[in-house]
Amino acid sequence: MFFFTGFLIGVVSLIPGISGGTVLVLTKQYAAVTNAIAHFKEKENRHSILVLVLGILIGVITFARIIELLFYFAPKATMILFSGFVLFSIPDLLKQEKQKPNLFWLFLGMLLIFFLSCFSISTPPVILEYPKLTFSFLLVFSIYGSLDGFFTILPGISGSMMMMILGPYFLYKSYLANLSFVNLSFLIPLLFYFLGDLLGFFIGSKVSLYFLEKQRKIFMSFIIGMVLMSALVLLPMYPFDLQHILLYGILLSMSFLFSQTLNFFK
């Protein structure tokens, strides 16, 4: 079950708006995984986490090629679809909390995302030229990996959503999609990224457990603010002619139906 859960986390880790935490809830493994991470020193828990990580790696590599094709053939449509996933995750977050969010912390969450988006690295959806593998690049890439892992485990937050806002999403996705025996050098940046990812995943689970127990309302208000601003930042802005209005309507409707399907299984 840990392998299957990890595989699903790997798949959705590339889809902004669908968090690893959502997968854990759907598979009823959230408590088991966070508990295994929190008590990692026990032999049985180390084995469980290893199986989970293996599933994540296989899921990520498998699905990256599909994402690459989507951005190659329909980059605008894919971005609208992904933005819709983020946008329609907000009502579910509000429903889960069963109380009005703290507006001050919600605003701070929005402000953080807006601030981060101002320093985003601009990269094309499909990478044709890859950066040189210098030590400084690998160090920065591993830091991005740790941020990805940190946000992946937080409820309601998607690591890939944050990577899109910060900028390295398309590079990371392209490394995965084009990994082969011909491009074995791609293993080097991916290894640094995954090591950072594991560290961030571990820290994120600790932070999540602490704040959900001690300051749940403040913590979730902050997260809802982050998700709300993320949807606004990621949503592509195009001229509102009839063609684009129809495109927005169809793709956002698809996002909404998919989100409702996930909520049904919860």
* pLDDT value of residue 266: 54
pLDDT of residue 19: 64
Residue 210 has pLDDT above 70, yes or no: yes
List, for residues 14-51, the tens digit of each pLDDT value.
877 666 666 666 666 767 777 777 677 777 777 888 88
- Whether 246 has a pLDDT exceeding 60, the answer reads yes
Give the model confidence (pLDDT) of 135-168 as tens digits.
999 999 999 999 988 887 777 777 788 888 888 8
Enter the pTM of the model.
0.75
Average pLDDT over residues 46-71: 84
Burial of 87 (0-12, 13-18, 19+ CB in 10 A): buried
pLDDT at residue 138, as a whole number? 94
- Check pLDDT > 70 for residue 250: yes
pLDDT category of residue 59 using cuts at 50, 70 and 90: confident
Domain range summary for the chain, segments of one domain joined by +: 2-265
